[in-house]
Amino acid sequence: MSTESDALIIDSLSKSFGDIKAVRNLSLDVKKGEVHGLLGPNGSGKSTTMKMILGLIRPDAGSIYVNGLNPEKDPTEVRRIVGYVPESPRLYEFLTGIEYLDFIADIHGLDADTKRRRIKEFLEALELEGRENEMISGYSQGMKQKITIIAALLHKPKLLILDEPLSNIDPKSARIIKDLINGLSREGVATIFSTHVLEIAEAICQRLTIMSQGEVLASGTPVQLRELAGMPGSGLEDAFLKLTGTGDIQEIVKALL
């Protein structure tokens, strides 16, 4: 069901919530070391797809393989090799940053030395050093998001699933995280990354999949997507708006005004 070079294979995946078809017949593959962007309007099925990859939501139909493992049959093993940043992370607010990261590292069975070293490196890199002994409840949104990202990386996952990880992060830390994803990519770590910020998608993703109403609308490199939209010389944003059928922006704005 998977080849050596695939980190993730999704085949004909579907999921409905009552009458809402959140994901429809979605197929997608991500190679080892690939950074793959998942784009699409609000409600197009990105987060639902990510939760199914982790085995948090059960698909109605279709199959998923993470490094050859099926998340429905082997959820524990899949979570061992996946790092996940959810779109609305729930942190233990009554713990301090360091207590939370210690707890996550212990769940993953890191030895004491490795744990201390990795947590220190990440806290330094993301400029949280000196704040780690404060309660998470007192952290800013961006600080909480950074803690979630560190927690997802501590166990050196083979596949990163990042659901809008940079939405509250300041430019310098966002740059560090982007460089980190690129560095991990060179070590063979695959990333699937959802974002609404098309410049970010273009800057760090080798391939992009645009979803709309649960379906794959288009998939390819940023250059291929612009060509597909018939706009080879334009920005990715214009191509995205055309492909997702949101071409009448001017009309909408005029009506609102």
Residues lying near ligand ATP in the complex (CB under 6 A) are found at 17, 20, 22, 40, 42-48, 87
The one of Mg ion, ligand ATP, none whose footprint includes residue 239, by CB under 5 to 8 A per kind, is none
What are the φ and ψ backbone dihedral angles of 251, each rounded to 5 degrees? -65, -45
Q: Is 47 in the site for Mg ion (CB under 5 A)?
A: yes
What order of strands is seen across the sheet that includes strand 61-66? 20-31, 6-17, 61-66
Q: Is 191 in the site for Mg ion (CB under 5 A)?
A: no
What are the φ and ψ backbone dihedral angles of 66, each rounded to 5 degrees? -110, 110
d(CA 143, CA 206): 28
Containing 21, the helix (H) or strand (E) segment is strand 20-31
Min. distance of Cβ 112 from ligand ATP in angstroms?
38
- Closer Cβ to ligand ATP, 22 or 105, answer by number: 22
- Closer Cβ to ligand ATP, 96 or 194, answer by number: 194
Min. distance of Cβ 256 from Mg ion in angstroms?
25
- Closer Cβ to Mg ion, 47 or 148, answer by number: 47
**Whole-Å CA distances, 105 to 100, 223, 251:** 9, 40, 51
- Closer Cβ to Mg ion, 47 or 195, answer by number: 47
The one of ligand ATP, Mg ion, none whose footprint includes residue 60, by CB under 5 to 8 A per kind, is none
Q: Is 173 in the site for Mg ion (CB under 5 A)?
A: no
Q: Is 48 in the site for Mg ion (CB under 5 A)?
A: no
For residues 8 and 192, the answer to whether their CB atoms sit within 8 Å is yes
d(CA 88, CA 163): 9
Q: Compute and round to an integer the Cα radius of gyration of the chain.
A: 19
d(CA 214, CA 151): 29
Token output for 201: 């998608």
The one of ligand ATP, Mg ion, none whose footprint includes residue 148, by CB under 5 to 8 A per kind, is none
Min. distance of Cβ 209 from ligand ATP in angstroms?
12
Min. distance of Cβ 242 from ligand ATP in angstroms?
19
- Closer Cβ to ligand ATP, 114 or 213, answer by number: 213
CA end-to-end distance (rounded Å), the chain:
53
What order of strands is seen across the sheet that includes strand 215-220? 82-85, 159-163, 190-194, 35-39, 207-212, 215-220
Token output for 196: 């609404």
Min. distance of Cβ 41 from Mg ion in angstroms?
10
- Closer Cβ to Mg ion, 100 or 193, answer by number: 193
- Closer Cβ to ligand ATP, 46 or 155, answer by number: 46
The one of ligand ATP, Mg ion, none whose footprint includes residue 45, by CB under 5 to 8 A per kind, is ligand ATP
Min. distance of Cβ 89 from ligand ATP in angstroms?
13
| Interface residue list for Mg ion (CB under 5 A) | 46-47, 87
